[in-house]
Amino acid sequence: MQLSGQPVLILPEGTQRIVGRDAQRINITVAKAVANAVRSTLGPKGMDKMLVDDLGDIVVTNDGATILDEMNVEHPAAKMMVEVAKTQDKEVGDGTTTAVVVGGELLAKAEELLDKKIHPTLIIKGYRMAAGKAISLLNELAMDIDVNDEETLRKLAITSMTGKGVEEAREKLADIVVKAVKQVAENDEKMIVDTDYIKIEKKQGGDLADTELVNGIIIDKERVHPGMPKVVENAKIALINAPIEVKETETDAEIRITSPDQLQAFLDQEEKMLRDMVEKVKASGANVVFCQKGIDDLAQHFLAKEGILAVRRVKKSDMEKLAKATGATIVTSIKDLSDKDLGFAGKVEEKKIAGENMIFVENCKEPKAVTILVRGGTEHVVDEAERALNDAIGVVASTLKDGKIVAGGGAIEVALAMKLRDYAKTVGGREQLAIEAFASALEIIPTTLAESAGMDPIDTLVELRAKQEKEKNPYLGIDVFNAKISNMKDASVLEPMSVKKQAISSASEAAEMILRIDDIIAASKKSSESKGMPGGEGMGEFE
């Protein structure tokens, strides 16, 4: 900007600014790079990534959301892609790689259109139309499932865990997941599943196949006093969110004690208060106490003498789960504790798992919170198993919510793409090109699956489209284990419709948002290194 020879500065010095096509190109390149980073992990034949953080801690995973999270991307466009994975993970628990890969491909196809001088707003409009259409087509193509059809629910869980390093135990894990989700589901006209109430407790050691479902909650703590019982049958459980201690004086009050009698009286008084608290607990009928706060040594001794099993400093989230599982109410004052507040468990037991004591609150009656105790040879195995379980839990929970599923292995994407192309023709104009681009972007899923199975991606896609068309069979997809096209429904490769729906909507929203940007204004960083500068350093790690 030159005004009579004087440059006019409207932004502070050091600000970096990139406008127009350059801005678009950079953002698209970055987003594609992010998608590329996770693409090779897609599907059962996908590879794993080893991520090493700055402290040298290692994570080996196949999970899109985890990879992107650990990568710590800096570029704003990259962060938008990471958001796609996070939303997907939060909303439906699975399909994170799919969402990011489709998002990247939508931008790759948009770039081709931009090169043909199609204006971004037209591309955005076409993508909008295509996404809306794709979602209504999904509803038409989806199959209904009965919430009591556990066999199918297990198949969905297995599909989500295939290729996740839990291979040998996936049947058993699928069974556990279905039982767990059904246990915590509340049927209130519609099925409501709060997956927070499925606690995953990991303990390295043993074998994946030793993973078990506990009908109740496991607390990673031990009883406070060795004199307390290790096992309590027919447990009546008190949940107390108050210290079983004599309160320290809040202000710095000084108590002057001038004679031994006074000291004794003082100590007696303290003892009496603790004894009263324990009396109160006993009077309620409780034989197990979970305390969110501390328990005084003397109170521990009294509780032990009464044969009450007590645990202290239990996490708030665990207290809530205990309440859900046992039916107890959390009380905030011991004075108010009564038998009505108590919960029930068939058995509370301290068990030694891999050398550490844990409290098992099990055999609860119709618990609305359960625990999956994950076992496995190494830390990496249990961590990856936890991620696989989370995917499977998400999948079963979201299927219960809407009762709709689709065929995986790229089948649904190819079916959608074909129908979108038909739709594009009815729209015409330049939007048609954008809708067709959207359709092709979805086909990145079958293409990638084919590639991972060692098949020729282009030939396979062409053949798959032709077969679906000829046989009028939207269930045909890529059988990655036999490297051929087969019926995914018959092969039990099933996925929830909601996973695909969420992937399509968040991928297209992110792509649209990135396409709409034609100006990147980055404030100068105070720090010496200009990390995260658009188009600057920090992008190399994706290449």
The active-site residue out of 61, 96, 162, 326 is 96
Options 38-46, 68-76, 115-123, 280-288: segment touching ligand ADP (CB under 6 A) = 38-46
Q: Binding residue for ligand ADP (CB under 6 A) from 478, 485, 504, 533?
A: 478
- Could you give the angle at the alpha carbon of 517 between the alpha carbons of 516 and 520, nearest 5°? 175
Residue at token pair 């998400």: 394
- Could you tell me if 464 and 477 are in contact, meaning their C-beta atoms sit under 8 angstroms apart? yes
Identified binder of ligand ADP from the candidate list 409, 457, 535, 538, rule CB under 6 A:
409
Least gap, CB of 99 to ligand ADP (angstroms): 7
**Closest residue to bound ligand ADP by CB:** 408
Residue 97 as a binder of ligand ADP (CB under 6 A): the answer is: yes
Under the rule (CB under 5 A), what is the footprint of Mg ion?
94, 160
Single out the segment in contact with ligand ADP by CB under 6 A; choices: 311-319, 358-366, 473-481, 514-522. Answer: 473-481
Decide: is 448 part of the binding site for ligand ADP (CB under 6 A).
no
CB of 461 to ligand ADP, least distance (A): 14
- DSSP run (H or E) holding 140: helix 120-141
**Per CB under 6 A, does 98 bind ligand ADP?**
yes
Q: Is 258 a catalytic residue?
A: no
In the complex with ligand ADP, the residue whose CB is nearer, 62 or 506, is: 62
Query: Which parts of 40-95 fold into alpha helices (H)?
Result: 64-71, 76-91
Q: How far is the CB of 160 from Mg ion (least distance, A)?
A: 5
8 A C-beta contact, residue 348 and residue 360: yes
Q: Which does 89 bind (CB under 5 to 8 A by kind): Mg ion, ligand ADP, none?
A: none
Active-site pick, 89, 341, 383, 391: 391
Which of ligand ADP, Mg ion, none lies near 400, with the C-beta cut-off 5 to 8 A by kind? Answer: none
How far is C-alpha 44 from the geometric centre of its chain's CA atoms?
Answer: 19
Q: Which of 97, 159, 211, 399 is catalytic?
A: 97
Residue 495 touches ligand ADP, criterion: CB under 6 A: yes
Site map (CB under 6 A) of ligand ADP, residues 114-153, x = contact: ----------------------------------------
Burial class (CB in 10 A: 0-12, 13-18, 19+), 317: exposed
- Comparing CA positions, the residue from 380, 327, 331, 371 lying closest to residue 353 is 371
Instruction: Indicate which single residue of 162, 284, 287, 440 sits in contact with ligand ADP (rule: CB under 6 A).
Output: 162
DSSP, res 204: E
Name the strand (E) or helix (H) holding 151: helix 150-161
| Contacted by 46, from Mg ion, ligand ADP, none: CB < 5 to 8 Å by type | ligand ADP
533: left (phi over 0), alpha (psi -120 to 50) or beta: beta
DSSP string, 224-273: S-TTS-SEEEEEEEEEE-S-BSPPPPSS-------SHHHHHHHHHHHHHH
Type of residue found at 349 = E
Among the residue ranges 121-129, 146-154, 463-471, 477-485, the one whose residues contact ligand ADP (CB under 6 A)? 477-485
Q: Is residue 97 annotated as a catalytic residue, yes or no?
A: yes
Distance CA 297, CA 83 (A): 48
Annotated catalytic residue: which of 48, 63, 296, 341? Answer: 63
89 catalytic per annotation: no
Q: How far is the CB of 282 from Mg ion (least distance, A)?
A: 51
Q: Does 390 bind ligand ADP (CB under 6 A)?
A: no
Q: Does 493 bind ligand ADP (CB under 6 A)?
A: yes
Nearer to ligand ADP among residue 323 and residue 445 (C-beta): 445
Nearest residue (CB) to ligand ADP, 118 versus 412: 412
Q: Which residues, 6+ apart, have CB-to-CB distance to 238 below 8 Å?
A: 281, 284, 286, 288, 289, 290, 328, 331, 337, 341, 342
Distance in Å, CB of 384 to ligand ADP, minimum: 12
Name the residue whose CB lies closest to Mg ion: 94
Nearer to Mg ion, 97 or 211 (CB): 97
Q: Is 44 in the site for ligand ADP (CB under 6 A)?
A: yes
Report strand pairing: 186-188 vs 190-192: antiparallel
Return contacts of 451-454, CB within 8 angstroms, 24+ apart. Answer: 452/40, 452/42, 452/43, 452/45, 452/46, 452/47, 452/480, 453/43, 453/45, 453/478, 453/479, 453/480, 453/481, 453/483, 454/483
By beta-carbon proximity to Mg ion, the closer residue of 94 and 431 is 94
8 A C-beta contact, residue 372 and residue 180: yes
98 in active site: no
Q: How far apart are CA 157 and CA 496, in angstroms?
A: 10
The yes or no reply on residue 96 touching ligand ADP (CB under 6 A) is yes
Among 277, 323, 370, 445, binds ligand ADP (CB under 6 A): 445
**What span, in angstroms and rounded, lies between the C-alpha atoms of 23 and 518?**
6
At its nearest, how many Å lie between ligand ADP and the CB of residue 96?
4
**Contact set with ligand ADP (CB under 6 A):** 41-44, 46, 62, 64, 94-98, 159, 162, 408-409, 445, 449, 478-480, 493, 495
Q: Catalytic positions, please?
A: 63, 96-97, 391
